[in-house]
């Protein structure tokens, strides 16, 4: 194993490997970890330990030129044609970039940044980044062969991409704003490590955000919906989405331990999501909800207590009938099929739409049942603040921003409350006095 130590350079950890060549001459090799100094000491030390173990000192050559060539071949990094430097040893699995901003292609840097952040963010978040960058941003920029320097000095290239998405592909402004966030964050890292001097994404005009207006089911429409889904595999999801306003991930993530039949409560604390990672769908299980406010305890009302009690007995019967064929991986979960397999989040979305179309019902998203729940709560006299707590929004402004119609309804109520003190009977006299 060769000697080595870490060095801080421009806010980034560098690995300095020290060795003697066959002529007895001491040499050093500097390899960037591409990790910011803050909060990454342990990870950098682990990378250093692997590099020390896997580094193969180059053999001495007759000429200095040949020695450099041999050294380049035997270093733990090889440079492929795409401009990325990828670690050859299987155990190392690190991706880095090489060259100046005039040499590094913008698309290559995005792939490098995507690889870099993978270990530091949630898998579901990474899935979103990966999908946007690989499926949308790179296909546009790759044929243009822009380098980081091109992007830095010509922010209009980024602006052209937004215009293309809005006008040519008819993408919504909100979607373009999300893609802008990805581009800006990646370029901010390039700025942080000194590859570029400014972030060009800060010099473009973002499209104006569209105000989202959700479609909802009113009470009579929900009654029809419940009849249609009675006996359907999605019945429980529809009921939980409409009454408790649960998110899809919260419904699938509901466990038996979250139900307190004694205290009559239901606690939302575990979520299950489905995301596309590296071209494959994967299930992501979390023991923490979307936000702190999402962790909430709601009353277990009589009808739901009866439904869940019946479901508990049904699952016990299915285990007896199916015996060894019954899946035991999800015994803790409530929302499983007759074979014990967890219902997938994407199935809820797809099957819900199919049933609506088949029965000629108004087409809404499954998530709009959550909005329908909010509207029913407000119509029943529940305050915006209490609706926020029921739905698990982190901030009341989130509730108002999503359910703008509720905010307007509250203003109407306020207007009606002061009508009684207005001098309506003297309206004509007031108009004359004004003239």
Residues 268 and 144 in one domain: no
- Whether residue 213 is contained in a domain is answered as no
Residues 247 and 390 in one domain: yes
User: In 3D, which of 209, 88, 84, 101 has the Cα closest to residue 150?
Assistant: 101
Q: What is the pLDDT of residue 15?
A: 86
Residue by residue, DSSP assigns 100-139 as -TTTSBHHHHHHHHHHHHGGGS-HHHHHHHHHHIIIIIHH
- Whether residue 292 is contained in a domain is answered as yes
CATH number at residue 179: 1.10.150.130
pTM greater than 0.75 (yes/no): no
Instruction: Answer yes or no: are the C-beta atoms of 372 and 222 closer than 8 Å.
Output: yes
CA angle 203, 103, 191 (to 5 degrees): 40
Q: What is the pLDDT of residue 63?
A: 40
> What is the C-alpha to C-alpha distance for residues 320 and 299, in angstroms, rounded to an integer?
31
- Whether residue 410 is contained in a domain is answered as no
- Whether residue 406 is contained in a domain is answered as no
- Whether residue 8 is contained in a domain is answered as yes
Residues 34 and 117 in one domain: no
Residues 17 and 111 in one domain: no
Residues 176 and 276 in one domain: no
Domain end, chosen from 203, 227, 253, is at 203
- Whether residue 431 is contained in a domain is answered as no
For residue 38, what are the domain limits? 3-81
User: In 3D, which of 277, 249, 407, 396 has the Cα closest to residue 333?
Assistant: 249
Q: What is the pLDDT of residue 79?
A: 35
Q: How many domains does the chain have?
A: 3
CATH number at residue 354: 1.10.443.10
- Whether residue 145 is contained in a domain is answered as yes
> What is the mean pLDDT, run by run of 10 residues, along the chain of 435 residues?
78 80 74 80 81 67 40 35 34 57 93 88 87 94 95 97 95 94 95 93 91 80 94 95 94 96 93 84 78 81 93 95 94 95 95 96 93 85 85 71 57 58 52 48
Q: What is the pLDDT of residue 72?
A: 36
Residues 190 and 242 in one domain: no
- Whether residue 405 is contained in a domain is answered as no
Residues 233 and 354 in one domain: yes
Instruction: Answer yes or no: are the C-beta atoms of 57 and 21 closer than 8 Å.
Output: yes
């Amino acid at each position: 194993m060769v000697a080595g130590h870490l060095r801080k350079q421009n806010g980034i950890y560098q690995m300095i490997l020290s060795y003697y060549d066959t002529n007895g001459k001491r040499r050093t090799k500097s390899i960037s970890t591409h990790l910011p100094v803050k909060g990454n000491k342990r990870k950098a030390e682990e990378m250093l330990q692997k590099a020390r173990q896997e580094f193969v000192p180059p053999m001495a050559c007759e000429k200095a030129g040949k020695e450099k060539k041999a050294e380049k071949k035997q270093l733990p990094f090889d440079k492929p044609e795409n401009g990325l430097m990828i670690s050859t040893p299987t155990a190392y699995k690190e991706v880095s970039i090489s060259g100046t901003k005039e040499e590094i292609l913008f698309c290559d840097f995005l792939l490098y940044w995507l690889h870099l952040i993978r270990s530091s963010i949630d898998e579901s978040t990474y899935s979103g980044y990966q999908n946007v960058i690989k499926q949308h941003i790179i296909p546009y920029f790759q044929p243009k062969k822009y380098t980081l320097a091109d992007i830095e000095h010509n922010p209009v290239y980024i602006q052209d991409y937004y215009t293309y998405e809005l006008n040519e592909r008819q993408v919504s402004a909100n979607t373009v704003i999300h893609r802008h966030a990805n581009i800006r964050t990646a370029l901010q890292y390039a700025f942080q490590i000194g590859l570029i001097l400014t972030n060009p994404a800060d010099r473009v005009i973002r499209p104006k955000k569209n105000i989202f207006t959700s479609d909802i089911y009113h009470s009579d429409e929900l009654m029809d919906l419940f009849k249609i889904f009675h006996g359907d595999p999605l019945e429980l999801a529809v009921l939980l989405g409409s009454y408790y306003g649960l998110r899809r991930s919260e419904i699938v993530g509901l466990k038996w331990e979250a139900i307190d039949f004694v205290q009559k409560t239901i606690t939302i604390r575990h979520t299950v999501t489905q995301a596309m990672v590296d071209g494959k769908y994967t299930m992501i299980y979390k023991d923490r909800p979307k936000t702190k406010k999402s962790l909430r305890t709601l009353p277990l009302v009589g009808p739901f207590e009866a439904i869940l009690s019946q479901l508990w007995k049904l699952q016990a019967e299915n285990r007896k009938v199916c015996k060894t064929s019954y899946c035991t991986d999800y015994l803790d979960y409530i929302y499983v099929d007759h074979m014990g397999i967890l219902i997938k989040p994407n199935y809820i979305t797809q099957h819900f739409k199919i049933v609506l179309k088949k029965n000629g019902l108004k087409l809404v998203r499954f998530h709009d049942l959550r909005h329908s729940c909010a509207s029913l709560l407000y119509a029943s006299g529940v305050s915006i603040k209490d609706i926020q707590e029921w739905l698990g929004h982190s901030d009341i402004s989130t509730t108002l921003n999503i359910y703008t119609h509720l905010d307007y309804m509250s203003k109407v109520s306020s207007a009606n409350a002061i009508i009684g003190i207005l001098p309506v009977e003297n309206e004509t006299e007031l108009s004359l006095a004004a003239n």
